[in-house]
Chain A
């Protein structure tokens, strides 16, 4: 079964504590501001304890299922999770990855297995469009390293057909007022870091 023609599936993956659910909310609110139907699904429970976290957002004129196995886009807030995203993406899909962020899982820390290295090569082998972003650097520049998720969302905005106002509305509705300014800055830095939208 292929994707319904007008439904877009975005999977957001990362490590517990990286703000995957917040990023998913921004995207869902932005899509909603575009007048689209939105459905989302998230896995709770172990989210704050350093495990892999997955959230799915689907939008379009009419959306049936909240989940779909092979997404059109994967947004990964960490490099190893970006590799994991390659396994999920549909053929010809797009991976937006915080490629300079590395959070080593226990087995790697204990040197039981290696951390994967060349994401660009792996993406090419699979025929996947890759947007590698230094989201961590941009977040730090914006004022907090915790904004990796939002900087990545800024970069993602260049490959999604949403108006700038919709993204702004998404940020305002999803991000707590107290940390909105720094996240707006991270978003803009992320967006402007993509020179040639693919």
Chain B
């Protein structure tokens, strides 16, 4: 049976994803990338979703990848700008199941507001980039991209452009790959990007890029094609087909794995021919690298730097240079591997990390949430401090607003309520709302904990739409999260974060209820209230140092030899009293500490 199909590049990418064993694909529609998800939705084995924007799409994809599923996320070039925030930290965390980001550029602005060259994002994020040049390669490269993603622990950029995405060609289907489902393992040093861990990952990605460069040198995706003429052409993507057609007699260096660039393969072309051209649409991306090697090249002085190319455009552009004297040859200057900063000298002194404040009632949420076996997708802000010992209550942190999309993707991939999101009110207004709307629309499963202190606490208590407070301290209308959730058909419970039992019950109920639910836990920031409600007294006879009160991570509780003591920092919030099972702690109201 002939299994050859005649596919648009975008369709080929979707078929390629199915063939590579992808379980999830998502996007926000955008020309020329839209057909990828439309096609994927009709292929067996892939769950396809529209997300409300590209940032949420990438975050949802990250959640799926964390859960161990191969995931493809697609967008147009300007969408990659929207997704840049999670992308630039995703490069640090790496992946679990393979993660491929398709960005489709639109040279000539057939249907776009700009004609940015997305290849710069590969360099910016230090991730590998694949550029298929026709539908068959679009199909084949997806599997290559997933394999690279998992081998090198990196997201992979698969860059398309209008003429590839919307061009058609024959595609020979290959045997389906059945990737192994990779189990999720909690590892905050890899998944929770606070400075302490992110610094280590930065070193990792610099080294990863050097290993990828070695791979680019060996990879069959980067092919030196012998010619009869005395000149060579370096190109990538669909532009390679134009150059090949315009100059079939030339030597061609075809870059399929086009970032990081294979310097030695480029140098090899210079050993074969006295004259080299770079033919590329939009920016001199390859050309800049060749020039950096100290090699003379004809590029953007001949090839237009705007609009789309075509074979005859390429032919006409290079004609005047063919008979000219070749530029002077020089041997390449290979850049050395980058130096990493000197590691900080070892100190034996105890470190002093920031902690959740004494009296912060949002601590109750972490204490209650920890009772359930849920992966906790954290977010940016004070509440990231819940990740530190002894709370150890968070699994990840990627970028502003990422928790909800990641939760939705993770639960989708595993088919059950396996993850919760933990996000502050200000971060929720920043970019959690869009992800919640996306999750509602896609009927995601999950529990979203919104820790509402009605301010932007971490940066020094600025106002936001939930408080209505503006920079000049005038007040505008305040958005109520409960009403917002009602409006987007999300079940929402608002509770007082000072009521520990209510939090425990609300979480228990939500975990047992199918579908998406939000719990808003309200309590003002302890730094703003600064009230001393009282203090806690310890009954040394009853205390057996079981550790339950220590586990809430309050800096005002200190273990002694066989009991605990309460320091001056105690605000008398009483959470430790509620978690104590031996009645050893009592709240003494109204006591003023010295």
Tell me the A residues contacting B by CB distance below 8 Å. 15-16, 44-46, 48-52, 80-81, 83-84, 87, 104-111, 113-116
**Is B351 in contact with A50, judged by CB distance below 8 angstroms?**
no
Q: How far is the CA of A188 from the CA of B381 in the complex (A)?
A: 40
**Is A87 in contact with B345, judged by CB distance below 8 angstroms?**
yes
Known: A109-B555, A109-B559. A50 touches B390 (CB 8 A): no
**Is B101 interfacial (CB 8 A cutoff)?**
no
**Is A105 in contact with B385, judged by CB distance below 8 angstroms?**
no
Rounded to whole Å, the gap between the CB of B435 and the closest CB of chain A is: 24
- B residues less than 8 Å from A51 (CB atoms): 352-355
**Is B347 in contact with A87, judged by CB distance below 8 angstroms?**
yes
How many interface residues does B have (CB within 8 Å)? Answer: 27
- A residues less than 8 Å from B389 (CB atoms): 106, 110
Known: A49-B357, A51-B353, A113-B350. 4 other contacts (CB 8 A): A48-B460, A81-B352, A107-B350, A108-B350
- A residues less than 8 Å from B473 (CB atoms): none
- B residues less than 8 Å from A111 (CB atoms): 559
Count, A-B residue pairs, CB within 8 A: 66
21 A-B residue pairs with CB within 8 Å: A16-B354, A44-B460, A49-B354, A49-B355, A50-B555, A51-B354, A52-B351, A52-B352, A83-B349, A104-B558, A105-B351, A105-B353, A106-B390, A109-B555, A109-B558, A109-B559, A110-B390, A110-B550, A110-B559, A111-B559, A113-B350
By secondary structure, the A interface counts as loop
- B residues less than 8 Å from A15 (CB atoms): 352
**Is A115 in contact with B354, judged by CB distance below 8 angstroms?**
no
Task: Find the A residue at minimum CB distance from B547.
Answer: A110
- B residues less than 8 Å from A108 (CB atoms): 350
**Is B527 in contact with A105, judged by CB distance below 8 angstroms?**
no
Task: Find the B residue at minimum CB distance from A45.
Answer: B458
- B residues less than 8 Å from A115 (CB atoms): 350
- A residues less than 8 Å from B558 (CB atoms): 104, 109
Per the 8 Å Cβ criterion, residues 489-545 of B in contact with A are 527
- A residues less than 8 Å from B458 (CB atoms): 45-46
**Is B382 interfacial (CB 8 A cutoff)?**
yes
Q: How far is the CA of A100 from the CA of B352 in the complex (A)?
A: 18
- A residues less than 8 Å from B555 (CB atoms): 50, 106, 109
Task: Find the A residue at minimum CB distance from B556.
Answer: A109
- B residues less than 8 Å from A83 (CB atoms): 349
| Residue among A44, A45, A80, A106 with most chain B CB within 10 A | A106
**Is B355 in contact with A50, judged by CB distance below 8 angstroms?**
yes
Task: Find the B residue at minimum CB distance from A51.
Answer: B354
Q: How far is the CA of A16 from the CA of B352 in the complex (A)?
A: 10
Rounded to whole Å, the gap between the CB of A166 and the closest CB of chain B is: 30
By secondary structure, the B interface counts as loop
**Is B350 in contact with A50, judged by CB distance below 8 angstroms?**
no
**Is B559 in contact with A50, judged by CB distance below 8 angstroms?**
no
**Is B8 interfacial (CB 8 A cutoff)?**
no
- A residues less than 8 Å from B552 (CB atoms): none
Rounded to whole Å, the gap between the CB of B547 and the closest CB of chain A is: 10
Tell me the B residues contacting A by CB distance below 8 Å. 345, 347, 349-357, 382, 385, 388-390, 458-460, 527, 550, 553, 555, 557-559, 567
Rounded to whole Å, the gap between the CB of B473 and the closest CB of chain A is: 18
Rounded to whole Å, the gap between the CB of B303 and the closest CB of chain A is: 44
Rounded to whole Å, the gap between the CB of A3 and the closest CB of chain B is: 20
Known: A87-B345, A87-B347. A80 touches B352 (CB 8 A): yes
- B residues less than 8 Å from A109 (CB atoms): 555, 557-559
- A residues less than 8 Å from B550 (CB atoms): 110
- B residues less than 8 Å from A48 (CB atoms): 357, 460, 527
Q: How far is the CA of A15 from the CA of B351 in the complex (A)?
A: 11
**Is B385 in contact with A49, judged by CB distance below 8 angstroms?**
yes
Q: How far is the CA of A115 from the CA of B347 in the complex (A)?
A: 13
| Residue among A46, A107, A116 with most chain B CB within 10 A | A46
Q: Which 4 A-B pairs have the closest CB atoms?
A: A51-B354, A49-B354, A46-B354, A105-B352
Q: How far is the CA of A50 from the CA of B569 in the complex (A)?
A: 11
- A residues less than 8 Å from B559 (CB atoms): 109-111
Q: How far is the CA of A50 from the CA of B526 in the complex (A)?
A: 13
**Is B349 in contact with A80, judged by CB distance below 8 angstroms?**
yes
- B residues less than 8 Å from A44 (CB atoms): 460
**Is A84 in contact with B354, judged by CB distance below 8 angstroms?**
no
**Is B355 in contact with A84, judged by CB distance below 8 angstroms?**
no
**Is A84 in contact with B349, judged by CB distance below 8 angstroms?**
yes
**Is B350 in contact with A80, judged by CB distance below 8 angstroms?**
yes
**Is B345 in contact with A106, judged by CB distance below 8 angstroms?**
no
Rounded to whole Å, the gap between the CB of B488 and the closest CB of chain A is: 32
Rounded to whole Å, the gap between the CB of B453 and the closest CB of chain A is: 13
Rounded to whole Å, the gap between the CB of A65 and the closest CB of chain B is: 18
Rounded to whole Å, the gap between the CB of A30 and the closest CB of chain B is: 26
- A residues less than 8 Å from B385 (CB atoms): 49
Q: How far is the CA of A80 from the CA of B353 in the complex (A)?
A: 13
Q: How far is the CA of A105 from the CA of B555 in the complex (A)?
A: 8
Task: Find the A residue at minimum CB distance from B560.
Answer: A111
Q: How far is the CA of A137 from the CA of B419 in the complex (A)?
A: 50
Rounded to whole Å, the gap between the CB of B268 and the closest CB of chain A is: 43
**Is A116 in contact with B349, judged by CB distance below 8 angstroms?**
yes
- A residues less than 8 Å from B345 (CB atoms): 87
- A residues less than 8 Å from B382 (CB atoms): 49
**Is B356 in contact with A84, judged by CB distance below 8 angstroms?**
no
From the candidates A50, A87, A116, name the one contacting B357 in the complex (CB within 8 A).
Answer: A50
Q: How far is the CA of A84 from the CA of B527 in the complex (A)?
A: 27
Q: How far is the CA of A81 from the CA of B349 in the complex (A)?
A: 9
Task: Find the B residue at minimum CB distance from A14.
Answer: B352
Task: Find the B residue at minimum CB distance from A103.
Answer: B352
Rounded to whole Å, the gap between the CB of B184 and the closest CB of chain A is: 28
- B residues less than 8 Å from A107 (CB atoms): 350-351
- B residues less than 8 Å from A113 (CB atoms): 350
Rounded to whole Å, the gap between the CB of A23 and the closest CB of chain B is: 18
- B residues less than 8 Å from A50 (CB atoms): 352, 354-355, 357, 555
- A residues less than 8 Å from B357 (CB atoms): 48-50
Rounded to whole Å, the gap between the CB of A111 and the closest CB of chain B is: 6
- A residues less than 8 Å from B553 (CB atoms): 106
**Is A84 in contact with B347, judged by CB distance below 8 angstroms?**
yes
Rounded to whole Å, the gap between the CB of B345 and the closest CB of chain A is: 7
Task: Find the B residue at minimum CB distance from A116.
Answer: B349
| Residue among A45, A110, A111 with most chain B CB within 10 A | A110
- A residues less than 8 Å from B390 (CB atoms): 106, 110
Rounded to whole Å, the gap between the CB of A43 and the closest CB of chain B is: 11
| Residue among B349, B357, B385, B460 with most chain A CB within 10 A | B349
**Is A105 in contact with B350, judged by CB distance below 8 angstroms?**
yes
- A residues less than 8 Å from B356 (CB atoms): 49
- A residues less than 8 Å from B351 (CB atoms): 52, 105, 107
Q: How far is the CA of A109 from the CA of B459 in the complex (A)?
A: 27
Task: Find the B residue at minimum CB distance from A115.
Answer: B350
Rounded to whole Å, the gap between the CB of B238 and the closest CB of chain A is: 46
Q: How far is the CA of A110 from the CA of B554 in the complex (A)?
A: 11
- B residues less than 8 Å from A106 (CB atoms): 353, 355, 388-390, 553, 555
Rounded to whole Å, the gap between the CB of A33 and the closest CB of chain B is: 28
| Residue among B350, B352, B354, B460 with most chain A CB within 10 A | B352
- A residues less than 8 Å from B352 (CB atoms): 15, 50-52, 80-81, 105
- A residues less than 8 Å from B557 (CB atoms): 109
